A = this chain, B = another copy of it.
């Protein structure tokens, strides 16, 4: 990966073969970013997507082989158990331009991935929610409306 920074904006260019989730998590932890908003485009391969089944409180998993255009990555970085944790949703398109989407569990970069990480000094925390069994994001110092 390569990166560049201007103020609170970090441009991150991932290289072919790098794993997206672990590479971005490591980068965020290294540079001390624990609350951020993220977007990105590129080409991915060896992908695992999740669909959250509310009744089961668990993710159904789909594995995709081959290369897919990453037409949208959107998500955030928040503190989970004291470290930066990522939460990304993606839309992929296949060779027939059909879209496949979900919660991104893992993916390798095919060709390239161009991401923007907008860091902020908000304190976003993921904490365990017994109702859904998910770690849900909340601002830790926030007004309740």
Interface positions of A (Cβ within 8 A of B): 1-7, 9, 11, 13, 16, 27, 30, 37, 39-41, 43, 49, 51-54, 60, 62, 67, 69-72, 74-76, 87, 89-95, 97-103, 110-112, 114, 116, 118, 120-124, 131-132, 134, 136-139, 141-145
A6 engages B95 (CB within 8 Å): no
Q: List 22 A-B contacts (CB under 8 A).
A: A2-B143, A4-B139, A9-B37, A11-B124, A11-B139, A13-B137, A16-B131, A37-B39, A40-B74, A41-B87, A51-B93, A51-B94, A51-B95, A52-B67, A71-B74, A97-B101, A97-B102, A98-B99, A99-B99, A99-B101, A112-B132, A112-B136
Interface of A is mostly: strand
A4 engages B97 (CB within 8 Å): no
> In whole angstroms, what is the CA distance A41 to B120 when docked?
18
A9 engages B75 (CB within 8 Å): no
Closest residue of chain B to A45 (Cβ to Cβ) is B54
